[in-house]
Amino acid sequence: MSKSFKTFLKHTAKDYHNQSVNPPVVRASTIIFKTLQDIRKMQDKAKKNPTGGYFDYGRQGTSTTHILSKILNEIEESYHVFLTPTGFGAVFLAIFSVVRPGDEIIVSDPTYNPTRVLTEDFLKEFNIKTYFYNPHDLKTLEKKITNKTKLIFVENPGSNSFDFQDLGKILLIAKKKKILTAIDNTWGTPYFLKPIKLGFDMSIVSATKYYSGHSDVMGGSLAVNKKVFKEVDKTNKVTGLRLGPDDAYLITRGLRTLDVRLDKHEKNAKQVSEFLSKYKNIKLLYPHKKDSFNFRMWKKYYSGASGLMGLKIKAKNKNSVIKFVNSLKLFGYGYSWGGFESLALYQDKREQGNRKFLKLNKDEHLVRLHIGLEDPKDLINDLRKSIKYLK
């Protein structure tokens, strides 16, 4: 990237042909050619340069989706970026591109629950075994490796519990055993962490979250290195995963302010975390405590922190925790995150999934907060009024 991240996002993909700051939305199922020979010429170009944006059918994309792919490829510093209709679609594409019946995969225990269901339950029907490792004890990862292990799948930080892992050590283990690696990097995005540059084979981001930034788009991206490109490209074509041009346009538009928004999310989250850290009955699951393992691992690999955090609340009365969440006035209640607005969610067992290494006492409860772009003083006042309900 010749320009800085911030400048690149503001100046890339301008459409001087249409004299538009943003590229136009091109919707197409049929791609029109003047002659049959032109179709063959386009197909020949696609064979020679499969990442060049040469399409003969709308399922493969249009100029709108190709431009978004090029932008993300630049900021990921990868070989190519595939686009999917949802963030979970990118998880599916990554895994199904490289594993086959008889293979085994190893997954970080604090992973997104749908990813857990996909790997632990669904893959079982295809004779693919899944093992989970403790993110704070990588010996549990090494012990699970066999000659059948094909993939190590990491989510960092961990879903709901926000465990930060030693990514470098995981990559050393994988490379030593010649095992492929994938990471869900939705929390950090390539603004704070570039997994392909670090050494991962595949990097997943739910574009639904910070890329869009406005809670009105579904989409996903899968950045890959050259090593796995052919397998992923083949699987992508067979499965027909395609991001629509309208969503691609909105994600491209949202990317223009990714840096500005994430800087503000981080600033707000730090102020909120400083306030919450004063309460003895609340353990903050966010990289703020400098003497903690999580902070050291965050600092080692990330250049910043996003606005998503967890609270481990100690309360004998579960209903008081629910009341605490329900009494918040400036926090919406709902799934997803990464938009401009603050959100709160009580994390019951449905959200946590069948975790192997998460230990919660009866009086410990998880609440997830997404700190949005509001005035942090207002968010803090809102939290202060609601915390009194915790018992």
Q: Which pLDDT score, from 0 to 100, does residue 68 have?
A: 97
Q: Tell me, what DSSP letter sits at residue 122? A: I
Partner residues linked to 235 by β-bridges: none
The whole-model pTM stands at 0.95
Domain housing 180: 76-255
Choose one of 232, 255, 278: the last residue of a domain: 255
* Neighbour-count burial for 24-58, b at 16+ CB within 10 Å, e otherwise: ebbeeeebeeeeeeeeeeeeeebeeeebebbbbeb
pLDDT digits (tens, 9 = 90+) for 293-331: 999 999 999 999 999 999 999 999 999 999 999 999 999
Q: Which pLDDT score, from 0 to 100, does residue 159 have?
A: 95
Element (H, E) at 175: helix 167-176
Do 250 and 334 lie in one domain? The reply is no
Do 238 and 321 lie in one domain? The reply is no
Do 262 and 222 lie in one domain? The reply is no
Domain harbouring 340, CATH code: 3.90.1150.10
Q: Which pLDDT score, from 0 to 100, does residue 1 have?
A: 64
Residue found by looking up tokens 């989409």 in the block: 219
pLDDT digits (tens, 9 = 90+) for 36-81: 999 999 999 999 999 999 999 889 999 999 999 999 999 999 999 9
Choose one of 255, 273, 302: the last residue of a domain: 255
Domain harbouring 85, CATH code: 3.40.640.10
Do 87 and 204 lie in one domain? The reply is yes
Closest CA to 266 of 210, 208, 184, 313: 210
Q: Which pLDDT score, from 0 to 100, does residue 2 have?
A: 64
What separation in angstroms does the CA of 53 have from each of 19, 65, 70, 92? Answer: 21, 9, 9, 23
Do 294 and 377 lie in one domain? The reply is yes
Do 234 and 130 lie in one domain? The reply is yes
Closest CA to 245 of 7, 22, 96: 22
Q: Residue 367 carries which side chain, given as an amino acid letter?
A: V
Widest CA span of the chain, in angstroms? Answer: 74
Report whether 243 contacts 223 (CB < 8 A).
no
pLDDT digits (tens, 9 = 90+) for 275-294: 999 999 999 999 988 889 99
pLDDT digits (tens, 9 = 90+) for 100-113: 999 999 999 999 99
Average pLDDT rounded to a whole number, residues 185-202: 98
**81 Cβ partners below 8 Å, 6+ apart?**
69, 70, 72, 73, 221, 222, 223, 224
Do 223 and 139 lie in one domain? The reply is yes
Choose one of 203, 222, 255: the last residue of a domain: 255
Q: How far apart are CA 308 and CA 335, in angstroms?
A: 12
- Mean pLDDT rounded to a whole number for the chain: 95
Closest CA to 238 of 82, 35, 42, 13: 82
Is the pLDDT score of 19 beyond 90?
Answer: no
Do 213 and 328 lie in one domain? The reply is no
Per the structure, the count of domains in the chain is 2
Q: How far apart are CA 12 and CA 70, in angstroms?
A: 10
Half-sphere exposure of 342 (CA within 13 A, CB side): 25
Do 192 and 318 lie in one domain? The reply is no
